[in-house]
Structure 1
Amino acid sequence: MRSTKLLPFAFTLALAFAQPSLATPLASGVPGMLFDHDVPITMTDGLQLRVNIYRPEKPGRYPVLMLMGPYGKDTSLADAPAYKTSWTKLIAKYPDLCKKSSCRYIRFEAPDPERWVANGYIVIHADVRGAGASPGVLDPFSTRETEDYATLITWAAHQPWSSGKVGLFGTSYQAINQYQVAALQPEGLAAILPWEGAYDQYREIAYYGGILNVAWEYWWTHQVVPNQNGNAETSLVDSINGGKDTGAPLSPEVLKQNRVDPIEAFAKHPFDDTYYRRRTPEGSRITVPLLDVANWTDWSTEGFRSAASKQKWLRIQTGDHLTPFYSDEALALQKRFFDHFLKGVNNGWEKEPRVAVQVRRPAGTTWRSAAAWPLPGTQWQRYYLDAANGSMDPALGTAAPAEKSYPGLGDGLTFTSAPFTEETEFTGPIGIRLWVSSSTSDMDIFAAVRLIDPQGRDVTFMGNSDPNVPLGLGYLRASHRAVDPARSTEYIPFHPHLTSEPMTPGQLYPVDVEFTNPTSIVISKGYRLALTIQGKDFGYGPGANIVRAKDYDLPNSSNSGLFFAAHPNRDPALYGGADTLATGGEHTSYLLLPRISARR
């Protein structure tokens, strides 16, 4: 069972009123905004977290927007070296951003409090336990951290300047933990807006298709550990008071004891065990109004699909991880949602389409609204593979049996469709069924669904964390091939990931490749689809024959998406064998695509 322990109401109520009163606010430098800095809030175990509170100067009771993260509530996005690239991209995209705000209080992956306080909201930003000014053990997404969040929400709901309604807001880390704490149903929580956040801790963060994702090591060492409480060597600067915002210095030995390295923890837990289940919320307990903003690459429709909320909306967009969050269009959407659920404004939000998707084209994007997800009327179309000639086509279901082998750590096989003769749209989840064997007892499958233009170039798109991504990326460790039929559909297989089932060398097995994200593309006449199957990370290296979708001019990267698999658990002796893909006859292998009929 997942951990869904509720804080006792009597205790949380007493705790809310037992907190110290706020000191005299600091001068915020922003007309009409009060700023309470490093306010100590006592948790259920007695430890005090530190929060910043931004609130209207005019007396009254206001709804609260809250976020809690590890990146530093006092670390300026504009000035921190760690976020220089993000800030440069943001200002390049929105050069007038700091004409609408002083930008002094913008933090990484966090809303600009100035633009919310001016509209009658209070913004509370907390340092998680063990980060920034909050002492304790830094253990990302732990049950202890989630309980802290619940305590903060209840505290905020009972303050004299609060209307009693709390909304959660933020992107990435500060979206993931919204799902977690919403399942605890803390008093005062009235709505959540997770912007590009993962839901399933095993399948979307730690292991993709059962393959360890070591990309988090970079995140941990470059973005989180520098802000650990007690880290006197940090390069991050306190933008409020200068100096460090990581509390009293601690020795390297104590610092190490006070943090739980997620990659080390993931490696110790290769299966979806209690470690992940306690960090993955129970969807049936998420009942508050919800707006899930997802990205076609890396995070995710799973929160929307899993939540039991009767009032829930899904919006899937393209673009990078940070800049869309700060656009005027996004701000208007965010305010309409929170105005409706936190202020009771009759702004027509209840008539907002439950699903809105940004449909991709090589020459740009268009928005489409729908009543449900997957889109109503989706036709699931199989593109059968033919190993004899590297082709794929819906008409190849009766192709003759064929097999082709490739080195397990090599470039693999690519199957290509004929040029499309008419404009065709695919929007929704995608799946792959393959028949495979290996000369060893296991193999890793990395799948990339690609778009090829009439000149033979890959058309790439801006991804959440990568400027060059294909249409979709899928993963599966063959020994994790077991599927739970009760929780699976034809287009989304559910792998329990509870045990390893070695392969018998040379024997063929059916496998369903796991995709963490759906896709969207309108394919123009003359373009082709391609499917690459290999046993290593897919990516576009320097000199790759690519053309970017409209409006992007960014450097190549050697790896696509928020995933990197190079790790000691990828033993070349086991995963570098001769892998074989079978097609046709009794071993039909295919790419499953969500075709959308032309709109009349």
Structure 2
Amino acid sequence: MKLSGRVLLAVVAGTSLAFAAYAAPQSNYSIPRAHEEVVLKSGATMIYDQNVAVTLRDGHVVYANVFRPKQAGTYPVIMAQGSYGKDATFQEAYASGWTQLLKANPNICAQSSCRFMRWEHTDPERWVGDGYVVIALDVRGAGYSPGYLDLVSAREARDFYDAIEWAAAQPWSNGKVGLLGISYMAINQWQVAALQSPHLAAIIPWEGASDLYREALFHGGIESNVFLQLWFKSQILPNQNGNAATAYKDPGTGRPPTGAALSDDLLKANRRNLIDSAHAHPLLDGYNQEINADLSRIRTPLLSAGNLSAPSLHGRGNYEGFVQASSTEKWLFLHTGTHDDSFYSDEGIALQHKFFDHYLKGIDNKWEKTARVSLVERDPARATWTTRSEEGWPLARTRYVNYHLDAQNRSLGTEVPKGEASVTFNAGKTAATFDMVFDRTMEFTGPLAAHLWVASSTADADLFVTLQLFDEKGREVTFLGASDTASPLAQGWLRASRRKLDVQRSKPYQPWHTHDEVQKLKPDEFYPVDVEIWPTSIVVHPGYKLTLRIEGADFQRPPSNPDGKSIGRRGSGVFLHDDPADRPNPEFSGVTTIASGGARDSFLVLPTIPRGE
């Protein structure tokens, strides 16, 4: 393929005009293509076509890898559109993740050569032999697809729409398209489903944000900068189209899987950095509204897979997507562990197959009788956890119980303290903690919240709220999750100046903040604030202790290794909030006071599930 030098004008809502240039200095460069017959372990033959051109509505071309049965016929299509390079192998590009995946699923390559495994994409060998076409697409500006890299944008969603319609019209397609993938490949499912593509028949968003502002960019109005920086540097830039310096190699050619080489100046001009966008758009303005999917417009049958052990990215979006989508045929599957473990497990693939067999092939497999919600019952006292069925989310039998803070003795209780008291902490240095010891077995499952009376010595304050659980021997109960190998029970965040609530959408157990204006504090004056704590599920036993921890910086346990750099078991993973541009001193390093009792009753709302019902 020969690319001519040209300049595109990218108009982004809510921003000034930005010019995005791209060109191909290597005028003789051609996109590598492959057409290969692959014999699967099942004995079936798969056709692999690399870099099939997909023309979008504006005439731009992006590239897809297509895997389809050799036998003539028409088949349903499963697609994913991603920014991580469809030709960068899982084993090479994400070696540590591959090691973890093999540990959790040691037989993962028993039914597949694993040759076409890609990060957060499905394995085509597990589908083609069963009569499916699988398509992996490089988004515009990533991998072999040239152009301006505009991540999770409205335009990228429209590109996906066009690709879906392209796939539905191919001679090997039966006209029904399903979407399947993790994280980024789940986020854009919510986005494109809201556009109501005529041939989009079903989606399985597996652990992906459905509200980018609240779940990925700003937690409670606080910029999630560390994750964004690491993600952009380690996962996006290596796969940007034109990055000849990438360490990744196309296994078929041994060359970079990123197309014709571009200069550093053009590479920078050809992308939008989400950190820069976050700095420019700290409120939920028109720009951020545009990238957030309008979930109410989704009518496609969906299976939303969320992680109970992901308090910082891979949970809330799946709950909210399930609740807010207008689809009458929708299911919620709540698991635990890393997102890779469950997605690629035999059980996960069987679940995906049953759903798609029903909606893409029309097989009468009684899928419609599947319980609308299935969740892992996290019981620390059991060696093996079981999955149970429910009929809705939040669970219909939930009793929301207020546990009141008592600053006098640092406790939580069901009675409002008789006397007023307060406790202070220095932001970034100390924390206020409140404990409750259980005298019976209880379960808490669902969304939760903290209603707090807060004063700050400065004009603003960030609140980082963490729920920790300790067993009867004082050992913290932690969870292997998508964000950290020792995730706490639950987490929530709120910038006090973003405390404004949407009264119509807020519930006692789930405050909904508008994030549309900044309301600064008067120093040392108390204000009521409501902190959304992301959903959790746990069974506790007599002698267990629940600790509510409130502080002015990210929850982080001391490092477990000598160099002090490991973040794997620190508690918040890479989802940290320490950008001085977003949290300048001295405004966010003051003294915060939490009041309790009397007219300033602070309390924690816990979703209590009656036992034996």
Query: Does the pair score TM above 0.5?
Result: yes
Q: Which residue of 2 aligns with 1:165?
A: 176
- Which residue of 109, 112, 118 maps to 2:120? 109
* Secondary structure of residue in 1 paired with 2:355: helix
Q: Distance in 2 between matches of 1:67 and 1:479?
A: 39
- One-letter code of the match for 1:360? R
Q: Which residue of 1 aligns with 2:48?
A: 35
- Which residue of 373, 388, 395 maps to 1:375? 395
Q: Which residue of 2 aligns with 1:574?
A: 587
Q: Indicate how the Cα distance of structure 1 residues 543 and 46 shifts in structure 2: closer, same or farther if over 3 A, else same.
A: closer
- Which residue of 374, 380, 392 maps to 1:356? 374
1:140 aligns with 2:159: no
- Which residue of 395, 407, 413 maps to 1:393? 413
Q: Please show how residues 393-432 of structure 1 align to structure 2 within 5 Å.
A: 393-395=413-415, 397-418=416-437, 420-432=438-450
Q: Which residue of 2 aligns with 1:462?
A: 480
Q: Distance in 1 between matches of 2:34 and 2:92?
A: 27
Quote how far apart the aligned CAs of 1:186 are.
1.3
- Which residue of 64, 76, 89 maps to 1:76? 89
Q: Distance in 2 between matches of 1:542 and 1:151?
A: 47
- Which residue of 524, 543, 546 maps to 2:541? 524
Q: 1:345-401, CA deviations, whole angstroms, 9 ceiling, x for partnerless residues?
A: 000100001111112121342212111110111010111111111111113x14310
Q: 1:199-249, CA deviations, whole angstroms, 9 ceiling, x for partnerless residues?
A: 011101110000000111100100111000000000011123221110000
RMSD: 1.7
Q: Which residue of 2 aligns with 1:193?
A: 204
8 Å contact 1:541–1:559 — kept in the other structure? no
Quote how far apart the aligned CAs of 1:29 are.
5.2
Quote how far apart the aligned CAs of 1:115 are.
0.6
8 Å contact 1:386–1:399 — kept in the other structure? no
- Which residue of 275, 279, 290 maps to 1:263? 275
Q: 1:136-185, CA deviations, whole angstroms, 9 ceiling, x for partnerless residues?
A: 01111111111110000001111110000000010100000001001111
* Secondary structure of residue in 2 paired with 1:148: helix
Quote how far apart the aligned CAs of 1:320 are.
1.1
Quote how far apart the aligned CAs of 1:561 are.
4.5
- Which residue of 50, 56, 61 maps to 2:69? 56
Q: Distance in 2 between matches of 1:28 and 1:190?
A: 28
Unaligned runs of 5+ in 2: 1-11, 14-32
Q: Distance in 2 between matches of 1:514 and 1:376?
A: 20
1:340 aligns with 2:358: yes
- Which residue of 530, 536, 542 maps to 2:553? 536
Q: Distance in 1 between matches of 2:360 and 2:190?
A: 18
Q: Indicate how the Cα distance of structure 1 residues 382 and 255 shifts in structure 2: closer, same or farther if over 3 A, else same.
A: same
- Which residue of 548, 559, 576 maps to 1:564? 576
- One-letter code of the match for 2:548? L
Q: 1:520-561, CA deviations, whole angstroms, 9 ceiling, x for partnerless residues?
A: 0000121111100000000222359xxxxxxxxx98533414
Q: Distance in 1 between matches of 2:551 and 2:464?
A: 5
Q: Please show how residues 143-542 of structure 1 align to structure 2 within 5 Å.
A: 143-214=154-225, 215-296=227-308, 297=310, 298=313, 299-300=315-316, 301-362=319-380, 363=382, 364-395=384-415, 397-418=416-437, 420-515=438-533, 517-542=534-559
Unaligned runs of 5+ in 1: 4-22, 545-553
- Which residue of 32, 35, 51 maps to 1:25? 35
- One-letter code of the match for 1:231? N
Q: Which residue of 1 aligns with 2:5?
A: none
- One-letter code of the match for 2:607? P
Q: Which residue of 2 aligns with 1:20?
A: none
Q: 1:324-360, CA deviations, whole angstroms, 9 ceiling, x for partnerless residues?
A: 1100000110000000000000001000011111121
8 Å contact 1:321–1:465 — kept in the other structure? no
Q: Distance in 2 between matches of 1:596 and 1:139?
A: 43
Q: Distance in 1 between matches of 2:192 and 2:262?
A: 30
Q: Distance in 1 between matches of 2:287 and 2:147?
A: 20
Pick which of 38-47 and 327-336 moved more.
Answer: 38-47
* Secondary structure of residue in 2 paired with 1:278: helix
* Secondary structure of residue in 1 paired with 2:504: helix
* Secondary structure of residue in 2 paired with 1:205: helix
1:129 aligns with 2:148: no
Q: Distance in 1 between matches of 2:152 and 2:362?
A: 31
Quote how far apart the aligned CAs of 1:422 are.
1.4
- One-letter code of the match for 1:85? S
Q: Distance in 2 between matches of 1:222 and 1:28?
A: 32
Quote how far apart the aligned CAs of 1:43 are.
1.1
TM-score by length of 1: 0.92
Q: Indicate how the Cα distance of structure 1 residues 456 and 348 shifts in structure 2: closer, same or farther if over 3 A, else same.
A: same
* Secondary structure of residue in 2 paired with 1:594: strand
Q: Which residue of 2 aligns with 1:19?
A: none
Quote how far apart the aligned CAs of 1:570 are.
1.1
Q: 1:253-284, CA deviations, whole angstroms, 9 ceiling, x for partnerless residues?
A: 00000010111111110000111111111122
* Secondary structure of residue in 1 paired with 2:253: coil
Q: Which residue of 2 aligns with 1:587?
A: 600
Q: 1:259-315, CA deviations, whole angstroms, 9 ceiling, x for partnerless residues?
A: 101111111100001111111111221001011001121323111111110101111
Q: Indicate how the Cα distance of structure 1 residues 57 and 206 shifts in structure 2: closer, same or farther if over 3 A, else same.
A: same
* Secondary structure of residue in 2 paired with 1:154: helix
* Secondary structure of residue in 2 paired with 1:155: helix
- One-letter code of the match for 1:27? E
TM-score by length of 2: 0.90
* Percent identity over paired residues: 46
* Secondary structure of residue in 2 paired with 1:308: coil
8 Å contact 2:567–2:574 — kept in the other structure? no
- One-letter code of the match for 1:373? W
8 Å contact 2:567–2:573 — kept in the other structure? no
Q: Distance in 2 between matches of 1:278 and 1:79?
A: 35
8 Å contact 1:143–1:279 — kept in the other structure? yes
Quote how far apart the aligned CAs of 1:464 are.
1.2
How many residue pairs align between the two structures?
Answer: 567
Q: Distance in 2 between matches of 1:221 and 1:537?
A: 22
- One-letter code of the match for 2:64? V
Q: Distance in 2 between matches of 1:205 and 1:313?
A: 23
Q: Indicate how the Cα distance of structure 1 residues 561 and 307 shifts in structure 2: closer, same or farther if over 3 A, else same.
A: farther
8 Å contact 2:425–2:431 — kept in the other structure? yes
8 Å contact 2:69–2:129 — kept in the other structure? yes
Q: Distance in 2 between matches of 1:293 and 1:414?
A: 33
Q: Which residue of 2 aligns with 1:18?
A: none
* Secondary structure of residue in 1 paired with 2:491: strand
Q: Distance in 2 between matches of 1:242 and 1:329?
A: 35
Quote how far apart the aligned CAs of 1:54 are.
0.1
Quote how far apart the aligned CAs of 1:28 are.
3.3
Quote how far apart the aligned CAs of 1:571 are.
1.4
